């Protein structure tokens, strides 16, 4: 398999707090890619999720700022109340465009713009959640030649979101939550 990936995008909704706390600590300190995450949340201006994840992760977890350059080895989380977009110069921008799938931030918006910026060098991951946000995005990533992963619905706290992604028939791998980090590491090490 190819190993020229430049970024990972993840989308997660209901059940995400536990899922992220289980999975993200499994990425090693020297993990070479940025991980960009949309977790649906209410639009309150707080950083509780980032702080809590930072206590358990080996990688730095931070909220993504507008115009910030995307750096490897950082876990970025979309701020509540804003869409997070990836620009082609590999910086972030934010928008208050209307919600997509009732969500702002929307997973589709992140995935679509990231697939335009990173092309085939993008890995998209859909985790637990109770709506179908991210399914359009997964299709876009696949259409640009990227790699797509869904959490095994059996292992998901809420199975609707990964199941909806899988139903698009554009998901390459279906994996239990805990195995996603080691799988990605294997992909990156393959030459």
State yes or no: is 40 an active-site residue: yes
- Using the contact rule CB under 8 A, the part of the chain among 9-17, 51-59, 79-87, 182-190 near another protein is 79-87
Q: Pick the binder of another protein from 8, 37, 75, 94 (CB under 8 A).
A: 94
Q: Which of residues 98-127 bind another protein (CB under 8 A)?
A: 98-99, 109, 112-113, 116-117
Strand partners, 80: none
Q: Pick the binder of another protein from 66, 152, 172, 179 (CB under 8 A).
A: 66
Q: Pick the binder of another protein from 1, 3, 67, 143 (CB under 8 A).
A: 67
Report the DSSP pairing between strands 83-86 and 74-77.
unpaired
- Quick check: 75 and 59 in contact, CB under 8 A? yes
Residue 174, number of CB atoms within 10 A of its CB = 18
Closest CA to 135 of 170, 93, 180: 170
- Quick check: 88 and 70 in contact, CB under 8 A? no
| 88 touching another protein, by CB under 8 A | yes
Q: Which residue has the tokens 């992760």?
A: 57
Rule CB under 8 A: which residues touch another protein?
45, 65-67, 79, 81-83, 85-88, 93-99, 109, 112-113, 116-117
Q: Which residues are catalytic?
A: 13, 40, 133
């Amino acid at each position: 398999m190819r190993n020229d990936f430049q970024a990972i995008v993840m989308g997660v909704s209901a059940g995400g707090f536990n899922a992220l706390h289980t999975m993200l600590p499994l990425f090693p300190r020297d993990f070479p890619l940025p991980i960009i995450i949309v977790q649906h949340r209410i639009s309150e201006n707080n950083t509780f999720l980032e702080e809590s994840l930072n206590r358990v992760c080996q990688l730095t977890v931070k909220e993504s700022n507008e115009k910030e350059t995307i750096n490897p080895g950082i876990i970025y989380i979309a701020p509540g109340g804003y869409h997070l977009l990836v620009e082609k110069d590999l910086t972030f921008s934010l928008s208050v465009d209307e919600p997509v799938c009732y969500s702002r931030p929307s997973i589709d918006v992140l995935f679509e713009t990231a697939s335009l910026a990173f092309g085939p060098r993008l890995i998209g991951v859909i985790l637990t959640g109770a709506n179908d946000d991210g399914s359009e995005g997964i299709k876009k990533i696949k259409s640009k030649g990227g790699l797509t992963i869904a959490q095994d619905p059996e292992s998901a706290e809420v199975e609707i979101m990964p199941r909806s992604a899988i139903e698009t028939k554009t998901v390459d791998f279906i994996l239990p939550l805990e195995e996603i980090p080691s799988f990605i590491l294997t992909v990156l090490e393959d030459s």
